[in-house]
Structure 1
Amino acid sequence: MAIFKPKYITFDTYGTLINFDMAGAAERCFAQRVEPARMAAFTTDFARYRMDEVLGAWKPYYDVVSNALQRTCKKWGVAWDKADSDFIYTDCATWGPHPDVPAGLAKTAEEFPLVLLTNSMDNLITHHVPRLGAPVHMVITAEEVGAYKPQMKGFEYMLDKLNCGPEDILHVSSSLRYDLMTAHDLGIKNKVWVNRGHDFANPAFGYTEIKDIGGLPAVVGL
């Protein structure tokens, strides 16, 4: 089988490259208010409300987090305070990459320009890019686009900014719901799913599956 050589390799950032520990932050924040046996369900609802929050008009990511947290607390009958939203959002800036990321990304960057399409703020992503361990050609945030994934606007904006078509890129993500379903709908045929265990497999969306970024160089023949 011929190995695809894209003009650009584009990436989701949080969850795919950066260890997205929103559940851990919520656990630490609510440890005295949500009993351990219920915490996983609480943080799952928090994730689902965050997804719902990004489907409308753009707003700062702090508001996405805070609104989702308030809705989760209301559902669970748990007290919320602005300090809770502050704690979790502040924690975001401390996250680092998954252990497999720096080496796999650096090897891939030797031949291909790397582009980040991220549901982030301009001032938040600056904490994370230097920790990736590889040169990044371009960073496009939801703040710049004015929309969050899984909306199509970010992908369309990225293709326009790169002056290329869907056939020219390889998109890499650990999330089907935020990235790969939308990429599929936009005709991006070359996709990689990094199976980090937070989404269910669905081969109908036409991706190559790898377990971590260490497997990416082989996908593009390195």
Structure 2
Amino acid sequence: MARLRVKGIAFDMYGTVVDVGAVADACKGIAPDPTAFAALWRTKQLEYTFLLSLMGKYQNFWTVSERALEFTTRRLGIELSPAQHPRLMNAWLEPRPYAEVPAVLARLKERYPLAILSNGSPRMLQAGLVHSGLRADFRWVISADAVRLYKPAPKVYAQAPKQMKLKKADILFVSSNSFDVLGAKSFGFKVCWINRAGVPLDALGPRPDLVVASFEALRTALD
């Protein structure tokens, strides 16, 4: 495969740079099956972003996450104590990066300007990047909040070329989320799918330019 020629890289945040599985850790002692609890919470969180965008409504990602948590607890018959609710929500402010991410970002930022492009609210993104020790790696932290829509709406992706001052075809967008990969490629970015789980791509197309299993494999592909 020919080497990708890009001038900047934009990354999705949750599930790509930081591990949303860390949210399951906060669920321990609260839910009988913390992994299932966190998975349902994440599923409803994303579903609500799709619904809000399609309905022409908007709530920021923190509020969406709270609404998804409310559904999850009701669906699973779990009543949270006053201390447990903030403990769960704060997990989104204190994520951990995937193990290989810090070293790879340190290498990539020597060659490319880097951005975060995420559905997360500005507060969530800034807090999460500071907590994970990655804030200094990114020149731009771009939130869907600015356009009051959620990915995969084209207006969300369109923020990156404007802020990075690059043509969209010169930006590599990196995400682990299949819907995000399809949306970004449809918008006109070059796209890398971080497919850690080895799952099939959604059948709607278009296909990403690069599929790798880790950030280290991404770095190797760009060398």
TM range (shorter): 0.7 to 0.9
The CA deviation at 1:99 is 1.2
- Structure-2 change in CA distance of 1:207 and 1:4 (3 Å): closer
The CA deviation at 1:80 is 4.5
Unaligned runs of 5+ in 2: none
**Cα distance in 1 for residues equivalent to 2:65 and 2:134:** 24
- Give the match for residue 41 of structure 2: 46
The CA deviation at 1:133 is 7.4
1:162-213 alpha-carbon deviations (Å, 9 max, x no partner): 3433311111111112x1011122232x21111232x733185224122221
Aligned pairs (5 A) from 1:35-184:
35-36=32-33, 39-55=34-50, 56=52, 57-80=57-80, 83-130=83-130, 131-132=133-134, 135-177=137-179, 179-184=180-185
SS in 1 for 2:88: helix
One-letter amino acid of the counterpart of residue 24, structure 1: D
One-letter amino acid of the counterpart of residue 149, structure 1: K
Identity %: 25
Residue 13 of structure 1 pairs with residue 13 of structure 2: yes
- Structure-2 change in CA distance of 1:143 and 1:83 (3 Å): farther
Q: When the two structures are superposed, what TM-score results if normalisation uses the length of structure 2?
A: 0.83
Unaligned runs of 5+ in 1: none
One-letter amino acid of the counterpart of residue 196, structure 2: R
The CA deviation at 1:50 is 0.5
Is this contact kept in 1: 2:126–2:135, CA < 8 A? Answer: no
The CA deviation at 1:84 is 4.0
- Structure-2 change in CA distance of 1:59 and 1:85 (3 Å): farther
Is this contact kept in 2: 1:100–1:214, CA < 8 A? Answer: yes
Is this contact kept in 1: 2:45–2:65, CA < 8 A? Answer: yes
- Give the match for residue 28 of structure 1: 28
Is this contact kept in 2: 1:101–1:132, CA < 8 A? Answer: no
Q: When the two structures are superposed, what TM-score results if normalisation uses the length of structure 1?
A: 0.83
The CA deviation at 1:17 is 1.0
